A and B are shown apart, each in its own frame.
Chain A
C-alpha cells in the first residue's frame, strides 16, 4: 500500500498520512505543530505513553472516572440489596436472635459490600476503557503500513486521517516533513 515515490493510481484514495519520528521529543514537538495547525482527526502512536503528550495534542481529561464511580455505586447498592433480600426478606436467617437483614446485620455486610464495590469498579475501569477506546478494533488504516510495526517497538508516529476537514495531501505532508519527520507516507485504499 505504500505509495510514496511510486506512480499514482487514480482508483486509490488516501486514508491516512503517517509520519515517523525517531524520538519522543521529536514526536511531542511535531504534535504541538499539528495541534496548532487546527487538525482534529489525528493521533500519535507511541510504544509507551509519552509524558506531556495529552497537552501537546490538546486533549482534555479522560472521562473514565465517571464510568467507574457509576459501576462502584451499582456494586455497592447491588450487594446491599442482594444480602438484605436473601437473608432478611426471602428467607430470614435469624442467628443468635439477630434479624437477617439490615440494619441489624449491617456490620457483617461490610466485607461483601466492599468486595462487590471493588469488583464492579474493576469491570468499569477495564471495559469502560475498552469502550471509550473503541477496542477491540483489529482493522485500522494505519496497520496497512509495514513501517508502523515499529510503533510498538522504538519508533513514534503521527497519523492524520483523510476525513479531517483540514486534510490536504500535499499541505499535510509538508507540515509533517517540516516538523522533522524521519519518514512520511500516504496510505491509500481502493476507492472504487
Chain B
C-alpha cells in the first residue's frame, strides 16, 4: 500500500450515500423539525425530563439544607460533585476536538457529526458548570468566584488554580456557544426558507440574522470559522489541563503528578468520543439518519476511541511506574496498595477494565463496524471514565498521610439524584436540540459532495482523466487498484 493511500482514501470515498442530491440532504435533515416527533423521541424525552425533575428536587433540597445532604465528609471533602464536574467537562472536549481540530486538519468526514458533537459540548459544559455553582454551600454568594467588587473589598486570588479553572471553563463555554451558533446560521436560514407557518419563519428567521448565502458574507464567515477553530484548538487543550491543575498543584499522593495535564486531555477526548457515539447511535436509530451518518463515520470514531484508550492506558501505567520509581512511600502506598486493593478496589477495576481492556476489541474490523458492540462499548467507556475521576478524587482523599484521619465516602440519595439528574438535564437539552435544530450541518455536508465542486466533470470534458469523474462521484477511491 502506498504511503499516501489512507489519506487519499479519506478524501475520495463518499461521505454521503452515493446518489444523494443537495435536496435530499436538505430534506432529510430539515424534515426532522417539521414532522411531528416520532414516538421514540417522546419516550426518550419523557424519561429524560423525569430525571431533570429529580435533578431539580435534589438541588432544591441541597439549597434548603446545605451541602451536608451529600455524603462529603472528613476526609473526603471533594467527592461526587467534583467527579461529576470533571466527567462532564471531559465529555465536552470531544465536541471541540471534532469541530475545531478535525476542521483544521481538513478531515472532511467530521461534517456528518460535528454539529452534534458541538451541541454535546455545550450541554455537557452546562451540566459541568452546575457543580462548581452548587457545591459552594452558600449559593447566594457564588459571585465571590468572579472578580467583582464585593462588600469585603477582596479580589480573587489569581495564583489559585481554582480561579484559573473558572476562567478556563467559562471561556470554553462561551467560545463553544459562539462556534456552534456561527455554524448554525446558514442552516437556520434553510429552516426559515422552508418554513410553512408564520411562527417558524419568524423564530428561525430571527436567529438566522437575515442570512442570504451571499458570497461576500461567506468570505468573512469562512474566515471567522477558521479563526474560531484555530483558537479553540489550544483552548480545548488548555481547559482540561487547567482542570487537572486543581489536583496537580496540591500535595496529596495521587494528585501531585506532573503527567496530569496531558493525561486529563487524553481522557477527556476518550470519554467525549464515547458519549458522542452513544448519543449519535440513538439519534441515528430514532431519526433514521444513516444517509449522513454512515458506518464509515462510526468506524473512524471507533479508531479514535482505540487510540485515546491506548493513551489513557499509558497514563495509568505511568502513574504506577512513577509511584514505584519515586521511592516515595506515600506514593507507593497509594498507587500500589490503596487503589487496587483498598476499600475502593472495585471502582479501580471499573476504571481499568472498560477504559484499557474493552476498547481493544476495536483492533478487529468486525467489532468496529458492529452497531450493538459499539453501543455497549461506548456506554462502558462512559462509566469507566466516570470511575476514573471517582478513583482519582475519592480514593486519593480517603487515605492520606495519617491513618488516624482515614475514612470512607458513601454517597447519599441526594448525591445520586443530583448526578443522575444532570444526565437527565443533558438528554433533555439534547432531545430538544435534535427536535428543533438541524442536527447535521447541511451546509457543510453539501460542501463535501461531488456536485459542490465547481470543476466537476470539467476533467471529463477535457478528456484528461476519465476515472476522475468516477472517483468524484464516489464510486472508486482515486488511486485504488
- Whether A133 pairs with B221 at a CB distance below 8 angstroms is yes
The binding surface of chain B is classed by DSSP as: helix
Within 8 A of B (CB), among A1-48: 23-25, 27-29, 31, 43-48
- Whether B167 pairs with A112 at a CB distance below 8 angstroms is yes
Selected interface stretch from B38-46, B60-68, B71-79, B158-166: B158-166
Q: Which of B168, B193, B206, B235 contacts A152 (CB 8 A)?
A: B193
> In the complex, what residue of chain A is closest to B245 when comparing beta carbons?
A111
Tell whether A137 pairs with B210 under 8 Å between CB atoms, given A126-B178, A126-B182, A129-B182. Answer: yes
- Whether B171 pairs with A118 at a CB distance below 8 angstroms is yes
Tell me which residues across on chain A come within 8 A of B193, comparing CB atoms: 148-153
Q: Which of B158, B213, B220, B451 contacts A64 (CB 8 A)?
A: B220
In the assembled complex, B216 has its CB within 8 A of some CB on chain A: yes
Min CB–CB distance A97 → chain B (angstroms): 12
A153 to B445, CA, bound (A): 12
> In the complex, what residue of chain B is closest to A52 when comparing beta carbons?
B454
- Whether B186 pairs with A87 at a CB distance below 8 angstroms is no
Q: Which of B154, B174, B454 contacts A24 (CB 8 A)?
A: B454
List the count of A-B residue pairs having beta carbons below 8 Å apart: 211
Report A52-85 CB contacts with B as 1/0, cut-off 8 Å: 1110010100101100100000000000001100
In the assembled complex, A116 has its CB within 8 A of some CB on chain B: yes
Tell me which residues across on chain A come within 8 A of B154, comparing CB atoms: 91
A82 to B146, CA, bound (A): 12
Selected interface stretch from A139-147, A163-171, A174-182: A139-147
Q: Which of B175, B178, B206, B211 contacts A135 (CB 8 A)?
A: B211
- Whether A108 pairs with B220 at a CB distance below 8 angstroms is no
In the assembled complex, B337 has its CB within 8 A of some CB on chain A: no
In the assembled complex, B447 has its CB within 8 A of some CB on chain A: yes
Min CB–CB distance A24 → chain B (angstroms): 4
A133 to B194, CA, bound (A): 23
Within 8 A of A (CB), among B455-473: 455-458
In the assembled complex, B257 has its CB within 8 A of some CB on chain A: no
In the assembled complex, B142 has its CB within 8 A of some CB on chain A: no
Min CB–CB distance B458 → chain A (angstroms): 7
A116 to B172, CA, bound (A): 10
Min CB–CB distance B449 → chain A (angstroms): 9
Within 8 A of A (CB), among B288-339: none
In the assembled complex, B189 has its CB within 8 A of some CB on chain A: yes
- Whether A108 pairs with B231 at a CB distance below 8 angstroms is no
> In the complex, what residue of chain B is closest to A98 when comparing beta carbons?
B159
A154 to B456, CA, bound (A): 16
In the assembled complex, B400 has its CB within 8 A of some CB on chain A: no
Tell me which residues across on chain B come within 8 A of A53, comparing CB atoms: 215, 218, 454
A38 to B159, CA, bound (A): 60
In the assembled complex, B5 has its CB within 8 A of some CB on chain A: no
In the assembled complex, A115 has its CB within 8 A of some CB on chain B: yes
- Whether A112 pairs with B219 at a CB distance below 8 angstroms is no
A45 to B218, CA, bound (A): 9
> In the complex, what residue of chain A is closest to B24 when comparing beta carbons?
A154
Tell me which residues across on chain A come within 8 A of B175, comparing CB atoms: 118-119, 122
In the assembled complex, B227 has its CB within 8 A of some CB on chain A: yes
In the assembled complex, B271 has its CB within 8 A of some CB on chain A: no
Min CB–CB distance B478 → chain A (angstroms): 18
Tell me which residues across on chain A come within 8 A of B454, comparing CB atoms: 23-25, 27-29, 50-53
In the assembled complex, A172 has its CB within 8 A of some CB on chain B: no
Within 8 A of A (CB), among B124-144: none
> In the complex, what residue of chain B is closest to A96 when comparing beta carbons?
B159
- Whether A50 pairs with B182 at a CB distance below 8 angstroms is no
Tell me which residues across on chain A come within 8 A of B192, comparing CB atoms: 152
In the assembled complex, B446 has its CB within 8 A of some CB on chain A: yes
- Whether B22 pairs with A133 at a CB distance below 8 angstroms is no
- Whether A48 pairs with B164 at a CB distance below 8 angstroms is no
Min CB–CB distance B133 → chain A (angstroms): 18
- Whether B224 pairs with A129 at a CB distance below 8 angstroms is yes
Tell whether A91 pairs with B153 under 8 Å between CB atoms, given A48-B444, A62-B223, A111-B167. Answer: yes
A180 to B302, CA, bound (A): 46
- Whether B157 pairs with A93 at a CB distance below 8 angstroms is yes
Min CB–CB distance B207 → chain A (angstroms): 9
Q: Which of B158, B218, B231, B453 contacts A49 (CB 8 A)?
A: B218
A113 to B347, CA, bound (A): 38
- Whether B214 pairs with A44 at a CB distance below 8 angstroms is yes
Min CB–CB distance A45 → chain B (angstroms): 4
Report B221-235 CB contacts with A as 1/0, cut-off 8 Å: 111100110010011
- Whether B167 pairs with A153 at a CB distance below 8 angstroms is no
- Whether B215 pairs with A47 at a CB distance below 8 angstroms is no
Min CB–CB distance A150 → chain B (angstroms): 8
Q: Which of B159, B222, B453 contacts A95 (CB 8 A)?
A: B159
Min CB–CB distance A21 → chain B (angstroms): 11
Tell whether A112 pairs with B163 under 8 Å between CB atoms, given A91-B154, A91-B155. Answer: yes
- Whether B155 pairs with A90 at a CB distance below 8 angstroms is yes
- Whether B190 pairs with A152 at a CB distance below 8 angstroms is yes
Q: Which of B167, B210, B245, B453 contacts A115 (CB 8 A)?
A: B167
Tell whether A136 pairs with B238 under 8 Å between CB atoms, given A62-B219, A115-B167, A154-B23. Answer: no
Q: Which of A44, A65, A83, A87 contacts B223 (CB 8 A)?
A: A65
A and B contact pairs by CB, cutoff 8 A, 27 listed: A43-B214, A46-B218, A48-B444, A48-B452, A49-B447, A50-B454, A53-B215, A62-B222, A64-B227, A65-B227, A90-B155, A91-B154, A95-B157, A111-B167, A112-B167, A114-B234, A118-B235, A119-B170, A119-B171, A123-B178, A126-B224, A129-B220, A133-B217, A149-B194, A152-B190, A152-B213, A154-B21
- 4 smallest CB-CB distances across A and B, nearest first, come from A154-B22, A129-B224, A86-B155, A136-B209
Given A45-B215, A115-B238, A152-B211, output 10 extra A-B contacts at Cβ < 8 Å. A25-B456, A45-B213, A52-B454, A57-B216, A64-B224, A111-B164, A119-B171, A119-B175, A136-B209, A157-B213
